[in-house]
Amino acid sequence: MQDFLQQTLSTEPPAQVSGRNDQLSWQWLDHGILELNPHQPCTQALVISAGIHGNETAPIEILNQLVGELLAGKRPLKARVLVILGNPEAIASGKRYRHCDLNRLFGGRWQQYDDHPEARRAWRLEQALETFWQVSCTEESRWHLDLHTAIRGSWHSRFGVMPLRETPWPDAFLHWLSAAGLEALVFHRSPGGTFTHYSSQHFNAASCTLELGKALPFGRNDLTLFSAARDALAALLSGEPLPPVGEPPQRYRVSQQITRFTEAFVLHMGAETLNFTAFPQGTLLAEDGDKRCYVQQAREYVLFPNPDVAKGQRAGLMLVEDNAHNETSGSS
């Protein structure tokens, strides 16, 4: 098969839809959906996705490079892997999405929308995960790494967003996130329509949305800035030692959500406001008709502020520090 990204964007299936080399066998399942299986038995089933938002290009380039090395037989494979380029139409057009935000449609939420391409794609990706994780007859460790970059700059240049999870996070998974260079982890306390929440809720996967830098067009990414994540991914795929781990990530939890309900919505943050900007208690964050949203805790940090979302969608998250855990980690 030719270059995975270029093949995906061609909208045509490859001339050969399956193959093998000395390290693995591969199968093209659909546009942007590729399954890789090592020849030897393994105990990990790994989903790596990128391009759920089409304008977040650096993770797409990194993932495409790693897939190229695997398909060429230049890198051993030690896990069953499902590789996903999430939204090929949006990737081809350089847009975040074409009709509606794909990363709000999972868990069946796609059924609430007209028959848009993103709705059909969310359904197809849900199918792909179900098939991939339920074919195994052995106990496997299930991980899902969804690679993104953020619209805005950030006080933490690399961070992870963790979906609601009822069971403890595996230590190996948290260690890998540290090795990938993440400076902060944000823990959700309620369900959502993201790809990682879907994999966590329905398949008990250890899942994380990795925000690895700033969203830029193809050709403008300095991939050296993403070297920690790339090296950690390469080590995970090939069963090699992880890069050295520095300070553990700072932990935050979601305290409240800012939602846009009407056309009258106003977000009281400028376009220059960075992710993890702190606001003191009582600060007016947003107005929507007669509704007001204020900082409720002594100090809260904003994440993903975006006044231009569709009605009913999240216009930002407010966070508080997980001080108990941060103090414990800092003293260990």
Question: Which pLDDT score is estimated for 1?
Answer: 65
Give the containing element (helix H, strand E) for 68: helix 57-71
Q: Both 198 and 321 in a single domain?
A: no
Q: Both 18 and 123 in a single domain?
A: yes
Q: Both 133 and 159 in a single domain?
A: yes
Q: Both 273 and 229 in a single domain?
A: no
CA distance 296 to 58: 36
Single pTM value for the model: 0.93
Q: Both 298 and 168 in a single domain?
A: no
> What is the domain-level CATH number for residue 265?
2.40.50.630
CA distance 67 to 4: 7
Edge-to-edge strand ranges of the sheet holding 291-294:
266-267, 284-288, 291-294
Q: Both 178 and 207 in a single domain?
A: yes
Q: How confident is the model at residue 42 (pLDDT cuts 50, 70, 90)?
A: very high
Domain boundary among 238, 270, 302: 238
pLDDT one-digit tens code per residue, 4-38: 999 999 988 899 999 999 999 999 999 999 999 99
Cβ pair 315, 258 in contact under 8 A: yes
| Pairing mode, strands 206-214 and 141-150 | parallel
Binding residues: 53, 56, 148
> What is the domain-level CATH number for residue 163?
3.40.630.10
Q: Both 316 and 261 in a single domain?
A: yes
Measured between alpha carbons, how far is residue 225 from residues 44, 58, 205, 235, 320 in Å?
28, 10, 28, 18, 27
pLDDT one-digit tens code per residue, 277-321: 999 999 999 999 999 999 999 999 999 999 998 888 899 999 999
Decide if 104 is inside a domain. yes
Decide if 249 is inside a domain. no
Domains in the chain, number: 2
Question: Which pLDDT score is estimated for 325?
Answer: 64
Q: Is 107 left (phi over 0), alpha (psi -120 to 50) or beta?
A: left
Q: How confident is the model at residue 136 (pLDDT cuts 50, 70, 90)?
A: low
CA distance 180 to 158: 9
Decide if 149 is inside a domain. yes
Q: Both 174 and 282 in a single domain?
A: no
pLDDT of 207 over the 80 cut: yes
Decide if 29 is inside a domain. yes
- Which residues does the annotation mark as catalytic? 211
CA distance 125 to 107: 11
Cβ pair 90, 53 in contact under 8 A: yes
Decide if 315 is inside a domain. yes
Cβ pair 194, 102 in contact under 8 A: no
Q: Both 19 and 149 in a single domain?
A: yes
Domain boundary among 181, 204, 238: 238
Mean pLDDT, residues 194-199 = 97
Decide if 31 is inside a domain. yes
Q: Both 226 and 289 in a single domain?
A: no
Binding residues for Zn(2+): 53, 56, 148
Decide if 264 is inside a domain. yes
Domain boundary among 238, 270, 296: 238
Q: Both 160 and 267 in a single domain?
A: no
Name the residue range of residue 23's domain: 4-238
Decide if 44 is inside a domain. yes
The residue length of the chain stands at 332
DSSP string, 96-125: S-SSS-GGG-TTTGGGGS-S-HHHHHHHHH
**213 three-state secondary structure:** strand
Residue 93, CB-side half-sphere exposure with 13 Å CA sphere: 10
The per-residue pLDDT of the chain, averaged, comes to 92
DSSP label of 168: P
CA distance 127 to 316: 29
Q: Both 228 and 264 in a single domain?
A: no
